[in-house]
Amino acid sequence: MAMRSSRNAFGQSDSAHRHKKGLSPMNTILILATALVAIQGASLVHAEPPTGALVGRVLYIGQAIPDQVIEVSRDSAFCGTQATIKSVAVHVKTRGLEGAVVSIDGVALPISEPSLPPLVLTNTHCTFTPRIAVGMVGQQVEIRNDDPVMHNTHISMGPRTFVNVAMIPSSRPVGKPLKQPGIYTVKCDAHKFMQAHVLAFAHPFFSVTDETGAFRIPNLSAGEHQVTIWHDTLGAFQQTVTVSAQGETSITLEYPNHADARKK
């Protein structure tokens, strides 16, 4: 016995009526594909802009600055009777300045940063190693003592003490996170000739020059940037550079006379 489809008030069968009210499988696929293309197009519009790297060298061609020789009155059996402090180290061939900090001003802060390894500051051979350390706010400063004598590592920013801890021989490392950007001075109260600096930034766009004066700062947005060059003895100066959208932008930064730089 054949089954008859029922008719509605408009003379349409129920199956035809349901077909008009709903969407066919083909129409559904077309709508989903259109939405996917629109989402992908929006992603391309909001994609991160291209970035480049700033590379170069910081030079110092001013008058030579003599080393400081300081008499040692404590733990001289290990530290020696004199300490020589080379405050300005210039490479013989490149004339590059070692230990200058190059940073970018006014950059947009990163959305997130991966966990960073500790910034290690070691008392070794009656000196701080490294003499210039750089890191980001929130990064842990880890103080160590590799010497057989006691050191007192005293880190401060201006008049405020960041950490002040006695480090006996074979003591465990002491750590504390950097809480604010700026320049921290590191001293040993037991050995006055020991000194270093820690610079903290709220962004990752910084570098310290190596023994040849070379530096590299990656992942910079294309365009004009203000660059600050800082040295613990020579002072600071600024220069404007333009970073290209792709590849590396190479520059040479020449330190002005240290007496003029320190006035800035």
Nearest Cα to Cα of residue 132 among 87, 198, 206: 198
Residue at 204: amino acid letter:
P
Domains of the chain by residue range: 14-45, 51-261
pLDDT tens profile 82-98: 999 988 999 999 999 99
Q: Has residue 79 got a pLDDT over 90?
A: yes
Nearest Cα to Cα of residue 126 among 99, 90, 153, 162: 153
Instruction: Write down the pLDDT at residue 184.
Output: 98
CB 155 within 8 A of CB 141: yes
Residues in a beta bridge with 187: 154, 195
For the chain, how many residues are written?
Answer: 264
Q: Has residue 109 got a pLDDT over 90?
A: no
Order of strands across the sheet that contains 214-221: 214-221, 51-60, 248-255
Question: Judging by DSSP bridges, how do beta strands 195-201 and 206-208 pair with one another?
Answer: unpaired
* Model confidence, pTM: 0.77
DSSP for 153-174 reads: EEEEETTEEEEEEEE-TTPPPE
Continuous segment of H or E residues that includes residue 229: strand 223-231
How would you class 191 by CB atoms within 10 Å of its CB: exposed for 0-12, middle for 13-18, buried for 19 or more?
buried
Neighbours of 88 (CB within 10 A): 21
CATH superfamily of 51-261: Cupredoxins -  blue copper proteins (2.60.40.420)
Q: Has residue 240 got a pLDDT over 60?
A: yes
| 104 half-sphere exposure, CB direction, 13 A CA radius | 25
Residues 6+ apart with CB under 8 A from 186: 121, 128, 153, 154, 155, 195, 196, 197, 198
CB 123 within 8 A of CB 167: yes
pLDDT tens profile 126-149: 999 999 999 999 999 999 999 999
What is the Cα–Cα distance from 156 to 191, expressed in whole angstroms? 16
Q: How confident is the model at residue 43 (pLDDT cuts 50, 70, 90)?
A: very low
CB 148 within 8 A of CB 78: yes
CB 122 within 8 A of CB 134: no
What is the Cα–Cα distance from 90 to 59, expressed in whole angstroms? 8
What is the Cα–Cα distance from 101 to 116, expressed in whole angstroms? 19
What is the Cα–Cα distance from 185 to 192, expressed in whole angstroms? 13
Which of the residue ranges 44-48, 62-66, 253-257 would you say has the lowest mean pLDDT? 44-48
Continuous segment of H or E residues that includes residue 217: strand 214-221
